[in-house]
């Protein structure tokens, strides 16, 4: 054995026993250093982000809000996985979506900006004709727009979407209109595949690495009749693939899950549709990634819930969530995952309007940085989600683009109880609104071109007599056509009493009008008396 004293210049150790008293101290130091470096490495690892964004999900389908329980307090739905997320996470009681239709709500969520900022050519042309933006199903994301997927991709994330596109514009000019075509016919299948691939290309360009299991839009609008079926098992299979791919590439995951549920078609029995039908045609076999669909009815009966109700769709969704949580756990990633869950717009008479049942939607956040077991009453908008995700991902503030929202990461972590905003801004059609404290102010201002077009007929809030404008809001809202509306939403959630003419609320009206003016003057277009 070499004499280390010769090579190092150190004195030889005469008796190692004189140093034995230091060994416990050395072990303790090594243990502390190991823990410190381990914690530092863990702190430096960005969290996986799962964003579950459902479609047209009514309040009764969320057990964690009052409408999710019956008069006796019993839960209306069997959703153990979602119930766990609500119990262990943070419920956002004052969460708002600025727009209450599928397309513009997705625009806000994917860009972190208001839909009025859309630059899609036909949207801009309408703005130029009418002088003000009119948000309907027209605020689409075009090539070159900065998206949350692109920003997270640049931050080192593996980015994936599984579900409904519905907002990113496809290029290529392939349109599929053969609604009665048979997807098993080679010619029909080829055209369908080319159509869907256009949307995959758009999603890749928008920043998604993975976009295999997608629907271009609403099933009725883009698929042959025979495959206009929701296939949550297929979408879940894609989500699990994405989790595996991210883990194999040793990257944090951004998983965006815009479900086709609970939008039409299918009613309360969506899970009973053709199990092999997808946007790409027919599968050879159904991926075995979730509990069998034919067990849904019996599980509901066992729980004392009517299987011929919307609870069937909720349980199907919950099975998907369970599969995703299990896969993350299997990959050792669940403890480093944050889970967001909310819907694109409320229902219950509010879709397509700025009334409370449309804009105030159930929402929760669960996961690693969240101080759970709480309900937050601070105002939060879906436009705040992107800034929050960017902060959680570790993107420095000076490297973030201009956004209309504010991060609520500190609220989630319990580091702060201060509100991130004093008010939330709302926009749909010819309506603009603002919520502040217990009050909501709505302004209905139709541009001159619409006033001429409608003449003596009442103008719908969306500015056109389409399906959404003819739907529930005009029947539900007693003051639908009033130009100015003020509601105490704390005491009058159904917005039955318009207090705009009551003198005792004059100062509140003045304050909310000034607040609204600040929003609209920062956005494209004019809005009559609210912009210079």
Average pLDDT over residues 19-41: 47
User: For a pLDDT cut of 90, what percent of the chain falls above it?
Assistant: 83
Give pLDDT, residue 369: 86
Give pLDDT, residue 274: 94
Burial class (CB in 10 A: 0-12, 13-18, 19+), 400: middle
Cis amide bond preceding 262, omega within 30: yes
Average pLDDT over residues 159-175: 92
Average pLDDT over residues 204-232: 96
Give pLDDT, residue 1: 36
pLDDT at 20 exceeding the cut of 50? no
Give pLDDT, residue 9: 37
pLDDT tier, 40 (very low <50, low <70, confident <90, very high otherwise): very low
pLDDT at 269 exceeding the cut of 80? yes
C-alpha angle 139/141/147, rounded to 5°?
125
Q: How far apart are CA 40 and CA 334, in angstroms?
A: 19
The count of C-alpha atoms lying within 13 angstroms of the C-alpha of 503, restricted to the half-sphere facing its C-beta, is: 0
pLDDT at 173 exceeding the cut of 90? no
Q: Are strands 48-54 and 253-258 parallel, antiparallel or unpaired?
A: parallel
pLDDT at 265 exceeding the cut of 70? yes
When the pLDDT of each residue in the chain is averaged and rounded to a whole number, the result is: 91
Average pLDDT over residues 334-342: 98
Q: How far apart are CA 166 and CA 224, in angstroms?
A: 17
Give pLDDT, residue 465: 74
Q: How far apart are CA 69 and CA 62, in angstroms?
A: 9
In CATH terms, 426-530 corresponds, of 1.20.120, 2.60.40, 1.10.10, 3.30.1120, to: 3.30.1120
Helix axis angle for 311-330 and 80-88, nearest 10°, is 70
Closest CA to 425 of 443, 446, 401, 408: 443
Average pLDDT over residues 169-192: 90
Give pLDDT, residue 273: 92
pLDDT at 408 exceeding the cut of 50? yes
Question: Cα–chain-centroid distance for residue 318?
Answer: 16
Kind and range of the H or E run holding 103: helix 102-111
Class of CATH domain 48-421: alpha beta
Q: How far apart are CA 258 and CA 230, in angstroms?
A: 12
- The neighbouring-strand residues paired with 440 are 435, 487
Q: How far apart are CA 276 and CA 233, in angstroms?
A: 10
Torsional sign, CA 124, 168, 319, 158: negative
- What stretches of 315-455 adopt beta strand conformation (E)? 337-343, 363-367, 374-376, 380-381, 424-428, 431-436, 439-444
- Asked if 383 and 108 count as a contact pair (C-beta separation under 8 A), the reply is yes
Average pLDDT over residues 25-52: 61
Q: How far apart are CA 433 and CA 359, in angstroms?
A: 10
Give pLDDT, residue 529: 95
Q: How far apart are CA 485 and CA 442, in angstroms?
A: 5
Distances in Å between the alpha carbon of 244 and those of 67, 239, 324, 325? 37, 9, 11, 13
Average pLDDT over residues 276-281: 96
The domain spans of the chain are 48-421, 426-530
Distances in Å between the alpha carbon of 223 and those of 182, 189, 280? 10, 11, 9
C-alpha angle 371/372/373, rounded to 5°?
140
Torsional sign, CA 181, 187, 192, 198: negative
**pLDDT tens for residues 123-151?**
999 999 999 999 999 999 999 999 999 99
Closest CA to 386 of 112, 153, 128, 106: 112
Output DSSP code: residue 532: -
Q: What are phi and psi of 46, to 5 degrees?
A: -65, 150
Q: How far apart are CA 467 and CA 355, in angstroms?
A: 17
- What stretches of 313-466 adopt beta strand conformation (E)? 337-343, 363-367, 374-376, 380-381, 424-428, 431-436, 439-444
Give pLDDT, residue 188: 94
User: For a pLDDT cut of 70, what percent of the chain falls above it?
Assistant: 90
pLDDT tier, 23 (very low <50, low <70, confident <90, very high otherwise): low
Q: Lowest mean pLDDT of 22-26, 133-137, 268-272, 513-517, name the range.
A: 22-26
């Amino acid at each position: 054995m070499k004499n280390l004293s010769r090579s190092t210049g150190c004195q030889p150790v005469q008796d190692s026993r004189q140093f034995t008293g230091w060994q416990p101290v050395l072990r303790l130091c090594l243990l502390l250093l190991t823990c410190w470096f381990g914690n530092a490495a863990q702190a430096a690892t960005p969290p996986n982000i799962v964003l579950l964004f459902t479609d047209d999900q009514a309040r009764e389908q969320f057990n964690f809000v009052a409408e999710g329980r019956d008069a006796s307090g019993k839960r209306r739905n069997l959703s153990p996985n979602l119930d766990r997320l609500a119990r262990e996470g943070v419920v956002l009681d004052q969460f708002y979506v600025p727009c209450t239709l599928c397309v513009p709500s997705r625009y806000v969520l994917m860009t972190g900006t208001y839909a009025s900022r859309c630059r899609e050519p036909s949207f801009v042309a309408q703005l130029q004709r009418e002088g003000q933006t009119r948000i309907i199903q027209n605020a689409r994301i075009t090539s070159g727009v900065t998206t949350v997927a692109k920003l997270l991709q640049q931050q080192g994330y593996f980015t994936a979407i599984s579900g409904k596109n519905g907002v990113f514009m496809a290029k290529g000019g392939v349109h599929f209109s053969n609604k009665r075509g048979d997807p098993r016919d080679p010619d029909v299948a080829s055209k369908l595949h080319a159509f869907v691939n256009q949307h995959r290309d758009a999603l890749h360009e928008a920043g998604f690495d993975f976009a295999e299991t997608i629907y271009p839009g609403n099933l009725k609008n883009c698929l042959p009749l025979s495959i206009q079926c929701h296939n949550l098992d297929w979408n879940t299979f894609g989500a699990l693939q994405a989790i595996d791919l991210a883990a194999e590439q040793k990257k944090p995951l951004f998983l965006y899950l815009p479900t086709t549920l609970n939008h039409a078609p299918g009613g309360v029995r969506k899970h009973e549709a053709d199990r092999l039908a997808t946007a790409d045609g027919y599968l050879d076999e159904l991926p075995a990634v979730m509990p069998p669909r034919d067990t849904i009815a019996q599980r509901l009966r066992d729980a004392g819930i009517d299987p011929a109700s919307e609870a069937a769709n909720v349980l199907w969704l919950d099975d998907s969530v369970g599969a995703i949580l299990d896969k993350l756990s299997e990959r050792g990633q669940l403890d480093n995952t944050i889970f967001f869950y909310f819907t694109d717009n409320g229902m219950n008479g509010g879709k397509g309007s700025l009334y409370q049942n449309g804009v105030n939607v159930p929402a929760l956040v669960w996961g690693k940085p969240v101080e759970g077991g709480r309900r937050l009453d601070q105002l939060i908008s879906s436009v705040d989600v992107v800034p929050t995700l960017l902060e959680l991902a570790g993107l420095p503030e000076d490297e973030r683009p201009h956004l209309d929202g504010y991060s609520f990461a500190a609220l989630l972590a319990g580091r702060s109880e201060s509100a991130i905003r004093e008010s939330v801004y709302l926009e749909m059609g010819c309506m603009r609104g603002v919520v502040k404290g217990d009050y909501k102010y709505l302004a209905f201002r139709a541009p001159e071109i619409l006033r001429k077009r409608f003449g003596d007929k009442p103008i719908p809030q969306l500015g056109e007599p389409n399906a959404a404008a003819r739907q529930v809001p005009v029947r539900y809202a007693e003051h639908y056509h009033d130009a100015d509306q003020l509601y105490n939403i704390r005491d009058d959630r159904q917005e039955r009493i318009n207090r705009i003419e009551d003198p005792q609320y004059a100062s509140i009206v003045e304050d909310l009008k000034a607040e609204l003016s600040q929003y609209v003057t920062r956005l494209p277009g004019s809005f009559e008396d609210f912009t210079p």
